[in-house]
Structure 1
């Protein structure tokens, strides 16, 4: 590694970018050999590698030092709009109201509860208590103070919590490094003491058995894939914990949850194309797992066992002869027959225009999550007559805005209400309770419990969100969400930013973001490109942007950029691009395809060396990716196709724009080595003079550093880099904090 001093355009001395030495490593597959000069950077235990990464940080700090006042301004805007002392809306579970508090100056939330009262009045008993920010209430208990837990630790994140039905024991899992391996502890809430049971290296998710004697948790293998569900009997050695199930297929993911009525442990095994559910009955002394539908049937489904009129039923959300999925009802006895002989009752029919995302039950109603016209919605219908001609019509809570997101935020099985979360681009997060329909109130009732406060004189009417459509090269219409300050004029002078993801059927749904306001207030037109590979327009939209159609994701993003350049809103020379993780792969791909279209690109935790990663099944999560990208190990066509777009292997001798790769040393999903190699190759090949930097958080994971203030500063760094590159550092007249 070498480094010398240079001068920037102002004459200020800055170091030259670090130059990693080249140690050629050959990788041969399907008769093709690729020489990788920087694979040695993968050794995170090497002092030389760590020194190189620190040199990268020193370089980016020097190159971007002039952005510090802008970063500080954006950070203060985020902070100034955020009510730092706040709380969540309490939710009721097993006779308690649970909620969390945040406090000014504190990085982490404080998890609390207070005893619920039962008066016999449905409305009163399910109305959350009036909890005030910064003010305790009689009987309030602190379950977990994240600030105390994080004290003296470089990182802090909670990976799951659980409470026994009787409310006595509280389990919580904590990560102090960012590698998403958690330590689980159990607190006796009555005694206020920790139990001696401590379980190391677990994955997300914990749950108690209904009788509170066992604790279920998930373990990952060496490639960071969750592959075991274990049961710990309280008070016994962890070494004696029983493996309830182990998934040996390296391409399958494993998880679990309790059924809504808590009569079953539900194990979910699957990939993006098919799945398998196994059930454990808590009242079965033999504790034998039963399979609902075998993975051999190649059906992608979720199963919810429940009692309907006192009879055992299984609710299936599935894609059997239904690419957008549908909801059916089945008797367990039917599922024991060969599938061709099974009879299922249709509950929600398949539609080419409606994507069914999932379904669940309460004691009285079916809750269905759907996506229609790109928007996520919630529908409910009574269990009476379910799957028969007497089935009730669905009821959908009505909202006023065109572009919004509404989703189920949780419910208690016996509750007469369900909790809904609602947001839009310029409506701060709202929490509603939706009173489930009854014969007396067939439309239900929507009760607003809270709208997250936004300080600093925020007025949503200062901003505009519209749905526009770009046209892809193959004629496909690509939905765009275009966000701007109302003061921006359509005179082709503004700056623009295009954001995208486009993988794993994940949708970039409308949502409020305080940090984004800082860009809009500087006149940046913010475009969210709902490109293929996501889920905004149903399963076809996803299928048309994965495996051997993956390049549609990249070309759609470029076409969205072209729409913005020609829209009349922005100066075509003042457009930047932003994306993270698989969206970081997108950034690397479009940088190679169309570098001239962007003034700057920010790639967050970017998956820019995908072929190297997926060719090695021992690397974290690699085998799980085969269903998304193809298996280049066994399939020469998949190998050739991936190699044709892999950002690292397609860097070419063109003038690249300003590029920032933002990553974390302990990220287990996209390893730091990918952007580290990528920026070296970019610097080797670029024919331009724009800086290419890597910012690495040495104590963070896939989501960056922990702590809200640190995360605000990270977002301020990204946005300052973009605004500076676009010449959009100054606030519009009258915009900003009031």
Structure 2
């Protein structure tokens, strides 16, 4: 194993300064809490020393990193454009150009108002009437980091509202561009959240600001050019709740949603009235979640609501807008189907749901009589296909845009003719070179957890490789997020070197419905960890993965998973990559002043007030459970400006591992000094970052890494 047997330089050794934390009679002495102060030059010097050490230890992998980067680049169509989506009298699309880091948002005029077939645009040919809305490369000039938060055109198509972050801390600056002149307007609003929502008067926008703990807590309304300060529309006092704002597809209403992990409340107002007052759809009730969409059925304004009142996997109801309490059920709740979303159009609904661990789509036509017709399933050929809605900005368009992908199927974009049902594939994500999906296999397997629960494991590898083979197992397992099958050009560099890629769909995620999520949170959180270990052992026991050839990777809450399983079963893994890892969760969740803490109590529990939660979290916290034993090689990565998982968590964890563990395996920390939670910006820089991780994983797993 290259990363272990080479002669290594001496790693940095963080000084130990005792900081005492006392809760519920438990005293914990934290020797590395001093690393939290990034204004301290000694902290920055330590992080830079860690970076230098990581660079030195991984320098021998540079040829492999370069090969992987070159492969990603060679397989990617660098000068490309997306399938145009019609809105009003324009076709909107995005461009990329060879050698440029960021995308360019464009549009061109609709030639025939009755033609809803996207034009076949050529990326190398001048497009008549093309207008560049926003060139992110220009916006990014002079900045080490750049992220686009929002880019929304006013309903009349005349003004672009967009927001940018040039630090990585997810605080954005909102700007407005007159699309008739190309000039920026004088209006500029700094320090907001990412998104922006237009009212239908074409002059008013809604946006959100965050509090000191990074919680989106206030909705504002701003009238462009009015010369007035923004008006506060709604402020959420409850620190458990986040706000979001959006407009219904019908353009009738602006919606403000307040939600915690377990409770929600939605307000609505007339989207055409710049002074509209918001009314509550249904008052919040603890433990009840609901979402709202607007439909017009049989000439009647109705709210469509997904809710979990008496239906753990949600039920779909409709009610008159005039009386949202007078609901009737459209789809009853089921234990084996998780209802995820409902989208309303003028003449149909689209239902998104999960069954057998995978996302599905169903089309509900609405007859002229206002009655729903028999549902139509939108199906695809392969077992592991993930499908969902594409760009559908129109309320009354004659076609429905959908997308589908799998581990071995590049993203495909389809239009479905709503009158005939005919499906037309508009594009398959290009993969340059000799890629053929038939050269790879993908399938679903099942591992058996400690308590007898069957845990789904998705597996993909090159066809015909000799098994057992080195394998990478990936996991997340929190917030009901689903790790659905998706295609990755970069992943081919692993598969083509004989590595198996597997996803462990552990409890805490939402793949198998709400109960799957609830089985991996709060005082059931350890199920996420034992599920992942069971999945890893299954890969070895079933002859898929070679013993001592299993490496693991996860990020953020998946980084907590990595830290926990490294303590739980260190001998199982040949190496572990933990990206922006949440490895000091108890310290964070005990401090309400830190970003996300109070809102996270519904996910992890409140250890401040509950001794059982405190004791349970302390029993699995990776940082606090580092012990004198052997650990596999570990690569932890983080970003200095991360506002979701502070850099200090992996920095402390790495220092504790180095001080305590009994083996000579390297523990590495790489900190991006100009980035946030999402990592470094720019597609070429991201490819380099991916190549860095993949080269380390391949070498650590003992894979043929030529």
Q: Secondary structure at 1:391's aligned position in 2?
A: coil
**How many residues were matched structurally?**
703
The aligned residue for residue 334 of structure 2 is: 351
Which residue of 1 is the match for residue 166 of structure 2? 176
Out of 425, 430, 435, the residue aligned to residue 412 of structure 2 is 430
Equivalent residue for 2:456, pick from 448, 473, 479: 479
Instruction: Write the distance in 1 (CA, Å) between the matches of 2:180 and 2:141.
Output: 24
Unaligned runs of 5+ in 2: none
Shift of 1:635: 1.2
User: Aligned equivalents of 1:362 and 1:723: distance in 2?
Assistant: 47
Query: In 2, Cα distance between the equivalents of 1:672 and 1:264?
Result: 40
Deviation at 1:447, TM superposition (A): 1.2
Q: Identify the residue that residue 214 of structure 1 maps to in structure 2.
A: 204
Identify the match of residue 167 of structure 1 among 153, 157, 160: 157
The Cα offsets for residues 402-455 of structure 1, whole Å up to 9 and x where unpaired, read as 11100012311111112111101101111111222x3xx3xx121111101101
C-alpha distance in structure 2 between counterparts of 1:176 and 1:282, whole Å: 31
Indicate whether 1:269 and 2:258 are aligned. Answer: yes
Determine if contact 1:70/1:729 at 8 Å carries over to the other structure. Answer: no
- Cα-Cα RMSD: 1.6
What's the TM-score once normalised by structure 2's chain length? Answer: 0.97
Task: Tell me which residue corresponds to 2:669.
Answer: 694
Local SS of the residue matching 1:553: helix
Answer whether contact 2:4 2:666 (CA < 8 A) is retained.
no
| Secondary structure of residue in 2 paired with 1:295 | coil
Q: Does 1:332 align with 2:321?
A: yes
CA distance in 1, matches of 2:484, 2:72: 21
Say if 1:183 and 1:202, in contact at 8 Å, map to a contact too.
yes
Trace 1:663-674 onto structure 2 (pairs within 5 A).
Answer: 663-674=638-649
Report the equivalent of 2:35: 41
- In 2, the alpha carbon distance for the partners of 1:365 and 1:662 equals 46
Relative to structure 1, the CA distance from residue 403 to residue 166 in structure 2 (aligned partners, 3 Å threshold; closer, same or farther) is same
What residue in structure 1 maps to residue 20 of structure 2? 26
Contact map agreement 1:489 1:569 (CA 8 A) in 2: no
Secondary structure (helix, strand or coil) at the match of 1:15 reads coil
CA–CA separation in structure 2 for the residues paired with 1:207 and 1:278: 15
Distance 2:430 2:637 in 1: 30
| Match status 1:132 vs 2:122 | yes
Match of 2:439 in 1: 462
Pairing 1:248–2:234 present: no
Counterpart in 1 of 2:377?
A: 396
Q: Aligned in 2, Cα 1:691/1:228: closer, same or farther, shift over 3 Å? A: same
Deviations along 1:280-305, whole A, 9 cap, x unmatched? 12356862211111112542110113
1:450 matched to 2:424: no
Q: 2:249 aligns with which of 260, 263, 275?
A: 260
Q: Mark the CA change 1:297 to 1:675 in structure 2 (over 3 Å): closer, same or farther.
A: closer
CA distance in 2, matches of 1:569, 1:275: 43
Alpha-carbon offset, residue 536 of structure 1: 0.8
Equivalent residue, structure 1, for 2:365: 382
Give the counterpart of 1:231 among 217, 221, 230. Answer: 221
Q: Tell me which stretches of 4 or more aligned residues in structure 1 moved more than 4 Å.
A: 7-11, 283-286
- The answer to whether the Cα contact below 8 Å between 1:564 and 1:570 also exists between their aligned partners in 2 is yes
Task: Please tell me whether the aligned partners of residues 85 and 103 of structure 1 are also in contact (alpha carbons under 8 angstroms).
Answer: yes
Structure having greater relative contact order (Cα 8 Å, sep ≥ 6): 2
User: Take 2:391 and 2:542, find their aligned partners in 1: how far apart are those partners?
Assistant: 41
Q: Deviations over 1:635-690 (max 9, x none)?
A: 11111111110111111111001000011111111110100000000111111110
Task: Classify the secondary structure of the residue corresponding to 2:390.
Answer: strand
Q: Determine helix, strand or coil for the equivalent of 1:514.
A: coil
Structure 1 distance, partners of 2:333, 2:391, is 25
Q: Which runs of 5+ in 1 are unaligned?
A: 1-6, 336-341, 732-738
3-state DSSP class of the match of 1:577?
Answer: strand
2:290 corresponds in structure 1 to: 301
- CA 1:9–1:524 in structure 2 vs 1: closer, same or farther (change >3 Å)? closer
Match of 1:113 among 107, 114, 134: 107
Query: SS in structure 2 opposite 1:257?
Result: strand
1:80 equivalent in structure 2? 74
